[in-house]
Structure 1
Amino acid sequence: MSLARLLRGLAALPLFSVPVLSQAQGKRPITQDTYDRWHTIGGTTVSPDGKWVAYTLSPVVGNGELVVRSTQGTAEYRVPRGYTGRAQLQPAADSAAQFTPAAPVFSGDSKFVAVLAYPDRDAMDQARRSRLRAELQPKAGLAIVGLADGKVGTVPRVKSFRLARDGGAWLAYLLEGDSVAAPAPPRRSAGADSTERRKDAGTTLVLRALATGGEERIADVIGYTIDDGEKWLAYAVSSKSGDTDGAFVRALSASAAAPAVALAAGKGNYKGLAIDRKGTQVAFVTDRDDYAARRPKYALWHASLGARPVAQAVVNAAQLPSGLVVADRGGPAFTREGTAITFGMAPPAQDSIPADSLAEKAVYDLWHWKDGKLQPQQKVELARDRNRTFTAVWQVATRTLVPLGGDSLPQVQVSADGRTALAVTAVPYEIEQMWAESDAGTDVWLLDATTGARRKVASKVPFRAQLSPGGKYVLWYDDHRWFAHDVKAARTRDLTGAIPGVRFDQETWDTPSLPNPWGSGGWSTHDARVLVYDRYDVWELDPAGVVPPRRLTDGTGRERHTILRVVRTDLDEPSLDASQPLLLSAIDDSTKHAGFWTDRIGGTAPPVPIVMSPNRWGTPLKARKAGQFVVTRQSYREFPDLYTGERLDALARISEANPQQGEYPRGDVQLVRWLSADGVPLRGLLYTPEGFDSTRTYPMLVYFYEEHSNDLFAHVTPTGRNLINPLVYNSLGYLVFMPDIHYIEGYPGPSAVKSIVPGVQSLIARGFVDPRRLGIGGQSWGGYQTAYLVTQTNMFAAAVPNATVANMTSAYGGIRWGSGLARSFQYEKSQSRIGCSIWTCRDRFIENSPLFFADRIKTPLLFMANDNDGAVPWYQGIEFFVALRRLGKEAYMVTYNGDEHNPTKRANQKDIDRKMQDFFGHHLLGQPAPGWMRKGIPMLVKGRDQVRMATDSVTP
């Protein structure tokens, strides 16, 4: 039966309201209160011995908790508010922003776990409403859990804590300052003594013996660290008087902490304490020797740690290139092998502009055509640029300084042995990046970190180069091939160009930019081999060019249409041990089943499956000193809870984040297939309500972005904001269809039409979709495509194109205000897929713009355009709304004042969710129109009667 005939046959059928299925089936309805009950798992970590797992259980709104669970039994301990921190989903997002959540940390001997416990949510909200000063607001505390008995010790008002990676005897934590702030010092006059400067005063550092609970307090500490092996505590003191200022170390043993030894002392600032991995040397920066100056300069200090450690200044500003000083930010760091110290150089701090200096003067931005970056981007990056540093190296053995970075080479990576450095710079191509993005390329430089000698090894490379862990090679991808530059031989080798019939770039790439490579999987020990990917398999390449390339996975991936990728379970180890089995993730590209396989670097046998199942799997964590794995597993019905075991095919579940989910309706999801209007095979997801009856007809919502079929086994939790959540809308009686889109360069709008409309028609033809009750919606790129679709078809009874671009001709020259970037690249090279400039392809910009076809629209529209949107300029929404209003079309635009591309304020998230449900409910279910649709909300009543009018809603 043709679609036209089907529509004629159904035209006479009356509209009727579909009951909320959850009520009919005796389950609880999903409401906005339901969203807030759902929990997520985060911050998962496993103890070194593999016997314990710690994770955070956080609700959308409210207080979370830390859960510490045994992997060997059922023992479980909980810490209220331990490692919570989902500020973006809290009602008082601004009050939570001062906290940076720190993950729980196990002691090296697996006997304790420590975590910061954050203030009660209600207390934080009250402090915000009361506008308390920062020092008077609630502070985090420290919780210390003994794993033998589950006893929890708590310490109030703690800033931070440290546990040694391989220790277990000691815990150090830094307390907050006094809750009553000291009065601010009087403002200095111009002629005041420069030594009477204001500096941050430290607070109390506590060193706790974990076995006994005994503690020692150290006053006025501003910074501290413990080395991995728990041999040394290093700390910096900053006192109000300055009399006790200095950098100190204390030797640690299993039972005692030796008296403090001053590395350097005297009035000044001491920052950036770092100890090498072996615990044999320490570095820091201080301005002690120049503290009396108006703008004191810092120096880098170094000491060998032993019986009587004494630090010496090894680098000062006089030794650096002209115009640079030792930076006091970022801090020094030892290379992995401890042979060199990297630290930052920076221009001296500039004087601030007096508040009245620009009075009666012109204040403006000058846009210069030769500027590398536009003024808005410079503004966004201003704080970063003011605090930028350039890399320098101090060689420990030779005691020599080697400056490496600078304006032309702002980013430098130093090898583990401190002898080689890689610099990748896009500075020569900044103007071209405005329209070409990454296709503009980067130059790749190799630097000798012992002499400073440099040479360019590649130009205009579009994909980022990498330095091998041992520093022997530079690897990059360009012109469909992998290249390796031999540092010692100063020779570049093409590693893959001679392999016939294999593509290492993404043949599924569908934007006008150069196709990305499938990626690399890491290096084997001693830089002997590098692993790279094609679409399905893993390849083993010899960077020396001696051994021919070989398909490590023997073509099994391609043969079975299974995507195989390397899984790193020891992220602290930079190389893959070729003597150990190689763990691979696996995804069947046809069924979307996933799991894990195993293989060996250098092996000849094909890869062996460990487990495959109708699930999506997370990346496994593995205990450092045991074979215990912890991993998440999920499906549409199964929340991604934690599973553990020594074998990935024999796992036990150890968490239940949402036991309440069985109280609510959950339908099902199926993979559906159809052909586009051009005959291209496509896939998508169809979500059906619980109790779905294929002999009935249902209203259906279409929600999309680019591709969704890979989410077949992704779990969906009930959430409410500017999207169509299939679980929520299934419970309201809708089918939800999420189609994939096949894009044709230059025609993103028609591509969406040719992909989505046939997909909807294929479902209508199956008899359970009511063609008169179709809705469609999308956000951002999905919003644009939604707006375009309703200019080309009248099959939808309601549409929600949120954060849409309506006019590509004006958007092309616009700014992404969040980054300051011009939007040109998005059309010429990126997601908008026009593939050329507005001057060479003027017609394409017009043909793909919904604004120019708005007169054809018959579908009622609701859309969001927020005035602080950093991705899509909100004036795009204004252009669209003004056009629709001029044409007499039913349209509603919501602007959440001060909010972003995706609303971050919880009240706004819930409001747009409610409005979308109201809008679809009215047009697809025949529900009464709410007050905001009937009468609007005049500016006169904004903030007053708006509350009543906005809540005049028909949704539960």
Structure 2
Amino acid sequence: MRPPFVTAALLALTSPYPLVAQPTSTSRPLVTPKDYGRWERLVNPVLSANGEWVAVPINRVDRTAELRVYSLRTAADTTPVIAGEGRDPVFTEDSRWLAYRIGQSEAERTRLEKEKKPVRDGAGVRRLDTGATTTFTGIRRFAFGGSRYLALLEYGAERKGDPGDPDSAVQSADLIVRELVTGTEMRFGNVTDFAWQDSALFLAMTIETPDRAGNGIYLYTPRTGQLTVLDGSRERYRGLAWRKDGDDLAVLRSRDVNGWEQPTHEVRVWRGLAKTPRASRFDPRGAPGFPEGMRIAEHRVLSWSDDGQRVFFGIQEWFTKPDTTAKDSTRAQGGGDEPADVEVWHSSDQRIIPMQRVRKEQDRQATYLATGNLASGRFVRIGTDLQENVTLLEGQRHATETDGRPYRFENMFDTPRRDVWLVDLASGDRRKAVEGVWYFHGASPGGRYLLYFHDDRFHTYDITTGARADLTGKLAAIFVNQDADWPVRRQRRSWGVGGWLDKDAAVLLYDRHDVWAVKPDGTGGVRLTQGAADSVRHRMVRLDPEAKSFDPAKPLYLELYGEWTKRFGYGRLSLKGAAPQGAVRRLVFEERRISQLAKAKRAEVFTYVIDDFDDSPDVFAGGPELAGARQVTRTNPFQADYAWGRSELVDFACATGKPVQGALYYPAGYQAGRRYPMIVYVYERLSQGVHRYVVPDERSAYNITVFTQNGYFVLEPDIVYQDRRPGTSAVGCVEPAVQAVLAQGLVDSERVGLVGHSWGGYEASYIPTQTSIFATAVAGAALTNFFSMFGTVHWSGGFRETSHFETGQARTDVR
């Protein structure tokens, strides 16, 4: 992990050399701490579906924010509409409206908290063609209903919950339903939750009144104004779930049972609400096979099968209430003293006591996935272990569950190994599909194949036939990640999986540089890209977040990264079936960082972000060719008023002879011929960040821009590790990196400092014991005593620190 903030002043405190900003060769001033607050960070841009608008959230160092909305209709539209403290923008499907959250600046939040007033967000909605804007105060959540309505749920009165009933603190509040064009509003009281049906024909609401007499589930039809009570009782309703693209609704209704802690639930269902509604329920009391001593819990979101025949929910153990009438003799036996707390540690525990404490709330809400057939009432339990992963396959006829219990001991000392079980959701039958696999990559989008990586090769399991296939054993490529240097005893991870083609026609697999389309039955594969020739890494880009696979009839976009040039960009490839139709066309590929490629849902409009160390990130928009895109935003334009540094790559070889690189950042206002002090920041591999723009910020960790503004060169060298020799590996890379920079005559060899945090802190502690090239070193949260640390427990995660050594970055597994 990258660390918390340490200022350059810390280096000055430990160095015999003063930290003094160097004068610049121009009249432009340096950036000082009083200037930091105005600097802007660009957050993820959001495109409208028709590609005519882009909303760009901006966060500043002073913790203020705004939302900038740009028109992309013509190149002349360059002035954004600005919404102060705007966040989380959402466009309607017809791209005519924009809604957003209105937050509070840090200063305002602090003021409200000091005055013991609630800190509450608001919301805004804007008609894009006219600019008409309406704002609302005190809005907890909002959601569009199609392109015609907006629902806004206000904050309710603050409640103190009953510790034994977590849902007693649920807020009921007013819900506003606004027709966007007319501005007409309907208001409903005591609403705890709401959910739009996909086409916005209906809005479902759960209601909870203070005395629970008016509790129920209500259905509002906004086009007619009709309000229908679907169900009413003194119980609680939660977990509204509409079937995708349908008019079927499900909800959980609580049921208290004497003698048991917390309620169980029934699943209430209404089908065909647009025509002839039919109500039914799934009641665990009458469901064959429903386990004794368990309940349907509220902590898992309800969901539907595609065919509408099943609902999925979570179950968990149900505990009886303790007998509070029994006399407690503990205190009397202890002479009246308060009883001591006792922790019982047991060797059979899956997790040690500190981790159990840390994850207490997660454990309270953990559930086993289960399903109920609405027609037959048949119950099938899918999940059997709360610590394992359960996944529904496409079509919801099967599910998978991983099981690491047979390998629990060996998993403490190696990459976790698991069996994969296949569950038939109709019968509940389970069969072991894959045994003892280290890397399970899930099921194909069509639900037919399970994909896993084993013995340095990808394999599939065919659910329909039970056949297994080796996909990559005969292909002329290496799919195991040679750069993965954390300790493993048997299986390193692969380079990854890029996705699947439609209809499970092929799976897209990565080697170091290229993408392969491989048939899932093991009958062959073809390399789609040719990145190895010039060390350019190709990776798939998923432009449609809703698509589960890639359509081979449409152009495929790929992310490009030059391993040695540090060029970034995007390319495009056309397929004929599962084979490449020509080479990858490099659309944009530059010595700058190019990222966040996005496409409008219903238009051939693309956006991406470009930045460099001396060039603030900006959004560019254009057509499918990407090149020639126009700049839309202009963040931090005032940077031009200040002196700034630049960055470049440094090539060197570690002591082992392995060639690597480092990122070198120049002092702001650098003057040729002058020798400067240098800070060397170490972690693992860092040269890939050479084009990253770094906003100056006192609360940002080991800030490169702050260092360069204070007259320092900054070097971030790559470190590659020899097996079980982390310290000497770091020395063997860092020292040659420093020497490579010193050889250029840029840096004063007497004023070189070393900084690292966490794992880098260990390196910053160890390296100075082996070399005298550093005048000083700063080690933050350093790992320094490997003997004692091996037996400790992580301060916040609650896990044994043995994993840091056996399978983690300390790379000193015991053999």
Q: 1:865 — aligned with what?
A: none
Asked if the contact 2:264–2:295 (Cα under 8 Å) also holds between the matched residues in 1, the reply is yes
3-state SS of paired residue (1:682): strand
State the 1:20 CA deviation: 2.2
Query: Partners in 2 of 1:378 and 1:672 — Cα distance?
Result: 47
Q: Is 2:261 the counterpart of 1:276?
A: no
> In the TM superposition, what whole-angstrom CA distance separates every residue of 1:820-856 from its partner, at most 9, and x where no partner exists?
111112112220111x32xx5xxxxxxxxxxxxxxxx
Asked if the contact 1:421–1:449 (Cα under 8 Å) also holds between the matched residues in 2, the reply is yes
> In the TM superposition, what whole-angstrom CA distance separates every residue of 1:487-522 from its partner, at most 9, and x where no partner exists?
11012211111224x210111222222422111111
Q: Which structure 2 residues correspond to residues 66-81 of structure 1 after superposition, within 5 A?
A: 66-72=67-73, 73-74=77-78, 76-81=80-85
Distance 1:127 1:641, change over 3 A: same
Larger RCO: 1 or 2 (CA < 8 Å, sep 6+): 2
Asked if the contact 1:371–1:431 (Cα under 8 Å) also holds between the matched residues in 2, the reply is no
Distance 1:608 1:200, change over 3 A: closer
Q: Is 2:781 the counterpart of 1:803?
A: yes
Q: 1:57 — aligned with what?
A: 58
Q: 2:114 — aligned with what?
A: 129
Q: Which structure 2 residues correspond to residues 710-725 of structure 1 after superposition, within 5 A?
A: 710-721=688-699, 723-725=701-703
Q: Which amino acid aligns with 2:152?
A: Y
Q: 1:307 — aligned with what?
A: 275
Gaps of 5+ in 1: 1-14, 84-102, 841-956
Query: Partners in 2 of 1:517 and 1:74 — Cα distance?
Result: 45
Q: Which structure 2 residues correspond to residues 202-241 of structure 1 after superposition, within 5 A?
A: 202-241=172-211
> In the TM superposition, what whole-angstrom CA distance separates every residue of 1:443-480 from its partner, at most 9, and x where no partner exists?
21111112111111122221233111221111111110
State the 1:394 CA deviation: 2.6
Asked if the contact 1:390–1:410 (Cα under 8 Å) also holds between the matched residues in 2, the reply is no
Distance 1:106 1:723, change over 3 A: closer
Q: Which structure 2 residues correspond to residues 442-481 of structure 1 after superposition, within 5 A?
A: 442-481=418-457
Asked if the contact 2:371–2:379 (Cα under 8 Å) also holds between the matched residues in 1, the reply is yes
Q: Is 2:553 the counterpart of 1:579?
A: yes
Partner of residue 508 from structure 1, selected from 483, 490, 499:
483
Query: Partners in 1 of 2:658 and 2:441 — Cα distance?
Result: 36
Q: Which structure 2 residues correspond to residues 396-475 of structure 1 after superposition, within 5 A?
A: 396=374, 400-407=378-385, 410-436=388-414, 439-475=415-451
Q: CA RMSD in A?
A: 2.7
Asked if the contact 2:156–2:171 (Cα under 8 Å) also holds between the matched residues in 1, the reply is no
Distance 1:722 1:245, change over 3 A: closer
Query: Partners in 2 of 1:378 and 1:18 — Cα distance?
Result: 46
Asked if the contact 2:195–2:204 (Cα under 8 Å) also holds between the matched residues in 1, the reply is yes
State the 1:804 CA deviation: 0.5
Asked if the contact 2:446–2:503 (Cα under 8 Å) also holds between the matched residues in 1, the reply is yes
Query: Partners in 1 of 2:43 and 2:641 — Cα distance?
Result: 24
Query: Partners in 1 of 2:649 and 2:510 — Cα distance?
Result: 27
Distance 1:120 1:558, change over 3 A: closer
3-state SS of paired residue (2:586): strand
Q: Which amino acid aligns with 1:177?
A: G
Q: 1:39 — aligned with what?
A: 40
Partner of residue 361 from structure 1, selected from 327, 336, 339:
339
Distance 1:198 1:785, change over 3 A: closer
TM-score (norm 1): 0.78
> In the TM superposition, what whole-angstrom CA distance separates every residue of 1:854-876 from its partner, at most 9, and x where no partner exists?
xxxxxxxxxxxxxxxxxxxxxxx
Q: Is 2:150 the counterpart of 1:171?
A: yes
Query: Partners in 1 of 2:107 and 2:701 — Cα distance?
Result: 28
Distance 1:317 1:786, change over 3 A: farther
Q: 1:793 — aligned with what?
A: 771
What count of residue pairs does the alignment treat as equivalent? 779
Which stretch shows the higher mean deviation, 73-82 or 205-214? 73-82
Q: Is 2:531 the counterpart of 1:557?
A: yes
State the 1:67 CA deviation: 1.5
Q: 2:469 — aligned with what?
A: 493
Q: Is 2:512 the counterpart of 1:535?
A: yes
Distance 1:394 1:409, change over 3 A: farther
Query: Partners in 2 of 1:402 and 1:381 — Cα distance?
Result: 28
Query: Partners in 2 of 1:138 and 1:511 — Cα distance?
Result: 45
Gaps of 5+ in 2: 1-15, 332-336
Partner of residue 494 from structure 2, selected from 517, 539, 546:
517
Asked if the contact 1:716–1:727 (Cα under 8 Å) also holds between the matched residues in 2, the reply is yes
Distance 1:824 1:265, change over 3 A: same
3-state SS of paired residue (1:822): coil
Q: Which amino acid aligns with 1:486?
A: D
State the 1:75 CA deviation: 5.1
Q: 2:6 — aligned with what?
A: none
Query: Partners in 2 of 1:344 and 1:414 — Cα distance?
Result: 13
Q: Is 2:313 the counterpart of 1:343?
A: yes
State the 1:429 CA deviation: 3.4
Q: Which structure 2 residues correspond to residues 552-631 of structure 1 after superposition, within 5 A?
A: 552-553=528-529, 556-601=530-575, 602-604=578-580, 605-631=582-608
Q: Is 2:215 the counterpart of 1:245?
A: yes
> In the TM superposition, what whole-angstrom CA distance separates every residue of 1:295-328 from its partner, at most 9, and x where no partner exists?
4321111111233424322232553212211111
Q: 1:98 — aligned with what?
A: none
State the 1:814 CA deviation: 1.4
Q: 2:13 — aligned with what?
A: none
Structure with the higher fraction of residues in helix conformation: 1
Q: Is 2:284 the counterpart of 1:316?
A: yes
Q: Which amino acid aligns with 1:316?
A: P
Query: Partners in 2 of 1:296 and 1:71 — Cα distance?
Result: 53
Which stretch shows the higher mean deviation, 764-773 or 22-31? 22-31
Query: Partners in 2 of 1:310 and 1:515 — Cα distance?
Result: 53
Asked if the contact 2:24–2:669 (Cα under 8 Å) also holds between the matched residues in 1, the reply is no
State the 1:801 CA deviation: 0.8
Asked if the contact 2:499–2:508 (Cα under 8 Å) also holds between the matched residues in 1, the reply is yes
State the 1:152 CA deviation: 1.5
Query: Partners in 2 of 1:564 and 1:768 — Cα distance?
Result: 35
Q: Which amino acid aligns with 2:38?
A: R
3-state SS of paired residue (2:782): coil
Query: Partners in 1 of 2:699 and 2:64 — Cα distance?
Result: 21
State the 1:786 CA deviation: 0.7
Query: Partners in 2 of 1:294 and 1:638 — Cα distance?
Result: 59
State the 1:677 CA deviation: 2.3
Q: 1:334 — aligned with what?
A: 304
> In the TM superposition, what whole-angstrom CA distance separates every residue of 1:273-294 from its partner, at most 9, and x where no partner exists?
0101112211110025869987
Asked if the contact 1:408–1:425 (Cα under 8 Å) also holds between the matched residues in 2, the reply is no
Query: Partners in 2 of 1:53 and 1:726 — Cα distance?
Result: 31
Q: 2:96 — aligned with what?
A: 111
Q: 1:708 — aligned with what?
A: 686
Query: Partners in 1 of 2:109 and 2:472 — Cα distance?
Result: 57
TM-score (norm 2): 0.91
Which stretch shows the higher mean deviation, 678-687 or 409-418? 409-418
Q: Which amino acid aligns with 2:520?
A: P
